[in-house]
Each structure stands twice: as C-alpha cells, then as structure tokens.
Amino acid sequence: MSGFHDPARFPFTARLSAQFEELACEARALERSDFVESPDSLTTVRGRYDERGWRYFALLGTGADPERAARRCPRILRACSAVPGLVNAGLSLFLPGTHLYPHCGELSGVLRCHLPLIVPAGDVGLLVGGELRRWREGECLVFDDRVEHEAWNHAETARVVLIVSFEPR
C-alpha cells in the first residue's frame, strides 16, 4: 500500500513550490548549529554509529522558538503559516550518510508535505509503503507518515527538506 498522495490535491503545495528559490536561499544561509540533533534514535550516520545524522530546526509547533524562527527564516515561516490545517513545520537536515530506518508515525488524520530545498546528487530517497520517490528540489511530496517509511541521504553533502504536517481538508 502506497502512502503517497497527489500533491495537486492540496493547493498550498503549488504555492510552496513557487517560492522554492527564496525558501532554499534562506535554508542555505543556515548553519549546522542552527539545527538540533533529532531525539529520534532511528538514524545513524554511515560508519559513525556514535552520531545521529538527523538534525531539525522547528519552525512552528512543538519545540519551536517563534522569535528565533522569525529571525532566521522569515520567508519560510511565512510560507508555512499560510498552509491550511497546519499542525507543525520544520527544516529537516540529513548529514551525508544518514539513514532513517523504517518506522510509522502516530498522528492520525495528518499528512506530511516535504518541499526539498537542498538535494545533493547521489543516493537520496524516501520509501513510503514500498514505493520509492526521489526528492527533487522545489517539488513537493505528500504522504501519510502512519504508513511505514524510511529515508536516507547516502550522498556526499547534506540534504535539507521543509516538512509541513497538516490536516487535509
């Protein structure tokens, strides 16, 4: 069973994609220290099992610092705030060699939208319900994270994705 949904069903995805260049510019201006290590123990960095490779910058929702988010990412924050049914939003950074192992989310009635902002060349992907998708800069992916999924960045540089969780209407 695939957990992917057609992004065209959600008009906000076209608006996010249309803003890709300016949002990616803000993401590129961030430093690794702007992201906190994800508390999720489902990741490793290839060859370095003492380091988790998933970093996160909370923009809206649990763990977010609204003043810091507004200062560091005003355009991204504004774009996320316009998403109908918004639950939370943040920037997900995968260090090179990171693998997020298969897992299922817990939020019923909520979908996830990924807007890839920085995608390196190489083996970088998202597998949801057995269906593989590759992130392409500026192209939204929407999926139900209650369906088993995994993600990885086996490329040589970092990958950054804007993640927006929302209640579909």
Give the CATH number of the domain where residue 133 resides: 2.60.120.330
pLDDT one-digit tens code per residue, 1-49: 569 999 999 999 999 999 999 999 999 999 988 998 875 555 565 555 4
Map residue 64 onto helix, strand or coil: coil
Q: What is the total count of domains within the chain?
A: 1
Give the other-Cβ count within 10 Å of 110's Cβ.
Answer: 17
pLDDT one-digit tens code per residue, 118-155: 999 999 999 999 999 999 999 999 999 999 999 999 99
Nearest to 15 by CA among 57, 93, 75, 88: 75
- Give the domain extent around 37: 4-166
DSSP-assigned letter for residue 9: G
